Amino acid sequence: MRSLHLWFPLALLAVILICAVASLMVGGRANTIAQAWERIPDALTYAGDPQRLPASRSGDELVVVMGLLRLPRTVLALLVGAALGAAGTVIQGHTRNPLTDPGILGINAGAAAAVVLSLVFGWTDSPTGYVWPALIGCALVTAAVFALSSTGSTAANPLSIVLAGAALSAILMAVVNALVLSDDDALEGLRQWATGSVAGRDLDVAWVVLPIILVGLVLACAQGSALNLLALGETVARSLGLATTRWRVLGLLSVALLGGAATAAAGPVAFVGLAAPHIVRAVVGPDYRLVVPYAALLGAALALAVDVLGRIIARPGELQMGIVMALVGVPFFVILIRRGKVQAL
């Protein structure tokens, strides 16, 4: 078992490295593997500081494409996948519900409402410009969920949080539908954002969400021991000295940070937050001290792999990450369920 705990994360890191290199090489522009491989150092240089690019590469279109388009989406896919994998693990652990994902807090609906409002009022018209409105929408909805679910004796109760999130999601999606039906520009903008994609984003988006995701990951990984106790039941956990309310608030805060940042950067991406925890538990067992960080690694690998796959199967166009994730991931998850690899919480 110890060797498995060592080799599993190393295998995930190897997959991430391979997918990252493939992501830099594959795109709508036709190029050979050799052409892309020899330009990777120059593309990294161009992304950091175009002025430092050697004169022999200054007019190289492939270097520009790799540095300005492929590298940012590679970084964002890794960040989004890691955030969703960790967030899904934490929310499943706190609610003890294996079917929940970060969207249960109303994060997706809050981000969608904020994006549509920004489109209707002309505050932004590009995927990069959606980030701040989406972040604000996620934050407001999370605060509202906490406020609605923390009255009287129901403070930080998992059931009240889930119900509050579901109620707010229903209201906000009704508002979104009403707005997009009355505004063609909002409908088109939402159509592009809601498919879940990291295409068209630049490194500025990554710099905005990076600190939020890092803080969320630290909070999520710190939850491991508390989640192990909560898995025994809230009464048992409390009798063992766990401050359940405090840990639950910290856990849901980490989910809000991770899920909000991921949704703001890429739009709603399904399946990662739901499936990554189950796959990791099937491999390493139920210890959340391992499941949380490993689910983050697996989520990063999944998101980047399907982003690359979407560019390959629809070349010279592409399929958005959220679409490919559902098409490829769900059948695989069903196989796990049929084989009894998905564990109850």
pLDDT for the residue 11: 93
Cβ neighbors of 71 (< 8 A, separation 6 or more) are 24, 43, 44, 47, 203
184, burial (CB in 10 Å: exposed 0-12, middle 13-18, buried 19+) = exposed
Q: Are 304 and 70 in contact (CB under 8 A)?
A: no
pLDDT, mean of residues 323-338 = 78
In this prediction, residue 60 carries a pLDDT of 78
pLDDT at 343: 58
Structure tokens at 57: 């590469």
Is pLDDT at 63 greater than 90 in this prediction?
Answer: no
Instruction: Report residue 47 as tokens.
Output: 């992304």
Q: Which pLDDT does position 152 carry in this prediction?
A: 58
pLDDT, position 184: 75
Residues above pLDDT 70, as percent of the chain:
92
DSSP letter at 104 equals G
pLDDT at position 206 is 92
pLDDT digits 0-9 by tens, 64-112: 888 888 999 999 999 999 999 999 999 999 888 887 888 888 888 888 8
Q: Give dist(CA 265, CA 77) in Å, integer.
A: 9
> What is the band of 28 on the pLDDT scale with cuts at 50, 70, 90?
confident
Strand boundaries in the chain, DSSP class E: none
CATH topology of domain 1-339: ABC transporter involved in vitamin B12 uptake, BtuC (1.10.3470)
Q: Do 289 and 231 contact (CB within 8 A), yes or no?
A: no
Mutual orientation of helices 244-266 and 131-149 as an angle, nearest 10°?
A: 150
pTM exceeds 0.75, yes or no: yes
pLDDT at 201: 86
Distance (Å, rounded) from C-alpha 276 to C-alpha 282? 10
Domain ranges of the chain: 1-339
* Mean model confidence pLDDT for the chain: 85
Q: How far apart are CA 155 and CA 285, in angstroms?
A: 31
Residue 329 gets which letter from DSSP? Answer: I
Widest CA span in the chain: 69
pLDDT in tens, 4-17: 677 899 999 999 99
Q: Is the dihedral of CA 131, 136, 142, 144 positive or negative?
A: negative
Q: Look at residue 197 and give its three-state secondary structure.
A: coil
Per-residue model confidence as pLDDT tens digits over 252-292: 889 989 998 998 888 888 889 888 998 899 889 889 999 99
Structure-block tokens of residue 150: 């923390």
Contact between 328 and 306 (Cβ < 8 Å): yes
